[in-house]
A = this chain, B = another copy of it.
Amino acid sequence: MATDDEQSFLDQYDPAAFERPSLAVDVAVLTVARGALQALLVQRTEHPYLGAWGLPGGFVSMDESLSAAARRILREKGGLDKVFIEQLYTFGDPVRDPRMRIVTVAYYALLDAGRLGHATAERRFFELRVDWEGETGGPVHPVEDGAELPLAFDHADILGMAVRRIRGKLDYTPIGFQLLPETFTLRQLQHVHETVLGRRVNKDSFRRRMLASGQLEATGEREQEVGHRPAELYQFARRSAI
């Protein structure tokens, strides 16, 4: 394929010739649990921000794609496998890290509350406080005992971006299902939407809209032992039917 010219160029090319930023990946792992939006945080074991909480992250290896790096970090630092991830935004302020120039490609991951894993002293989920409506607003901080927890680096900005993104996508794409187990009731789905959006939604139109969307498939099963009339269990409709 390559011409002689191009081959000789490639042979002579020195990849180390120029100084370059480091490249990292950070992942905002979000879930809905105990009626609130929550994010997975890990306690830093290195400088800078030693001991502070932050998003799981790490450097991109030379031979892995960005999404592969995100999945590896989720596995290594979050103990999580097979979760939904999507690229969020790339943060490249020259002074976002005091050590050196580090550009980070942020991803977000969505998880149903049944798969949180076990909390440890240095890795657990924190409730998020979003003090703005819709997609207006800036950083989002976790709270602990009612107090805002400061985060390392610009990770509160990354969480803010993640919340804006999923609020925006919730009504147009099937990401709400990623926050629920395999089967769920319409009430559970509505509850997830309300928690993510930070506002109540109309029950009747939510129900009609979801059923009309073609994204839901009735399983014929019903929820059990709920102290009232049990609701039908649905699952996310794979595109196969379309």
Contacts and interface: CB of A to CB of B under 8 A. Distances in A.
A87 B60 CA distance: 20
User: Taking the full assembly, how many copies of this chain does it contain?
Assistant: 2
A200 B98 CA distance: 51
Interface string A24-50: 000000000000000000000001101
A19 interface: yes
A209 to B, nearest CB: 18
Interface of A: 2, 5-6, 9-10, 13, 15, 18-23, 47-48, 50, 59-60, 62-66, 87, 89-90, 92-94, 98-101, 103, 105
Chain A binding surface, main DSSP class: loop
A94 B64 contact: yes
B22 A20 contact: yes
B62 A10 contact: no
Contacts of A100: 13, 15
B13 A103 contact: no
